[in-house]
Structure 1
Amino acid sequence: MKVIIAGAGNVGRSIATELIEHGHQVVLLEKDPKAFKTDTVPKATWLLADACEVSSLEAAGLEECDVSIAATGDDKANLVHSLLAKTEFSVPRTVGRVNHPKNEWLFSDSWGVDVAVSTPRMLSALVEEAVSVGDLVRLFTFRQSNTDLVEMTLPGDSPCVGRRIGDLRWPADAVLVAVIRDARAMAPEADGALEGGDELLFVTPPEGERELAAMLAPKQAASGAAEPAGDD
């Protein structure tokens, strides 16, 4: 896979290093000569160019890229680059780095952003995930499909504990995608059972989060909420 990264700062270089280690071809664009440090990621193709100029993107071969990552420290530059990548060069997948939380709402398909990565949101989500048991935590938002990746550490007194996964009817459009138990991620199996302390990862639309949280909540907190479906 060919990936172009706008911005060769610490973030851009770190992403490039990871991608190259996984066998991908990476082009790094950087307009600041002081940040042009080819020795830090020698296996990447480096270009001293403005990632917001069409001529520079043409020279970089953006139309041949599978993914474009806007990783500069400037939200305006990241938005412009993503928009050009999507509208002018038809890049299949665009990822935009959000530097300021107040700008997060701009990073949508209207600006050509398929995936917005907000460091403040990710850090706060990880903090919540680390300290919360029984609370649904939103980890990630998929802009194009209007769905979220959410996580809950299942309380020991949840009505779902001990239930066969195949017998649980999740809210509409909610999908259980992984169960993390004893530091190991597992695909959910219909004949498997949930245990207290399991970390459950779901993909769900935002409107389904409340119902999902109520279904997984401890018994004493679930009065009036939807109960797990019984055996047929």
Structure 2
Amino acid sequence: EMSLGDMMTLFKIRRGRYSVVEEKVPAGAKGIGVQLKNMGLEEHCVIAAIIRDGKMTLPRGDSTFAEGDEILAVTSPEGAQKLSDLLAHPVYPVRESKKILK
């Protein structure tokens, strides 16, 4: 099974070449508000459904992700990595303390 962040592999097809995956969109994810046609997923990942507020929609090129959406996708390993990057929890820089000990 593939594990990329919070992405869950539901099942594999074509002798494991492709996977059907599910992932929930976290707050602050890079992919929020970006139209599907501008995400660069076309070659390796097909978004099959967006589930928002318990209702499934079939995505189009101008569809966008929102916080809390559940995404179902058919993907290759490369596409899964790209999708995972778009849906990753944001990383905030850690500030270094300049405390001086005496």
Contact 1:136 1:213 in 2 (8 A): yes
- Structure with higher Rg: it is 1
Which consecutive aligned stretches of 4+ in structure 1 deviate over 6 angstroms post-superposition? none
User: What is the aligned partner in structure 2 of residue 137 from structure 1?
Assistant: 8
Alignment RMSD = 2.3
Q: Deviations over 1:63-119 (max 9, x none)?
A: xxxxxxxxxxxxxxxxxxxxxxxxxxxxxxxxxxxxxxxxxxxxxxxxxxxxxxxxx
Larger relative helix fraction:
1
Q: 1:157 aligns with which of 2, 25, 28?
A: 28
* Alignment-mate amino acid for residue 8 of structure 2: V
* Alignment-mate amino acid for residue 53 of structure 2: D
Once the two structures are superposed, the pairs formed by residues 190-201 of structure 1 within 5 Å of their partners are 190-201=61-72
Structure 1 residue 213: deviation in Å?
0.9
Figure out how many residues of one structure are paired with residues of the other and give that number: 89
Q: TM-score, normalised by structure 1?
A: 0.35
Larger relative strand fraction:
2
* Unaligned 5+ runs, structure 2: 93-102
Contact 1:158 1:219 in 2 (8 A): yes
Contact 1:159 1:217 in 2 (8 A): yes
* Alignment-mate amino acid for residue 202 of structure 1: A
3-state secondary structure, aligned to 2:12: strand
3-state secondary structure, aligned to 2:91: helix
From the superposition, tell whether residues 135 and 145 of structure 1 become closer, same or farther in structure 2 (CA, over 3 Å): closer
Q: TM-score, normalised by structure 2?
A: 0.73
3-state secondary structure, aligned to 2:11: strand
Identity of aligned residues (%): 31
Structure 1 residue 168: deviation in Å?
1.6
From the superposition, tell whether residues 183 and 149 of structure 1 become closer, same or farther in structure 2 (CA, over 3 Å): same
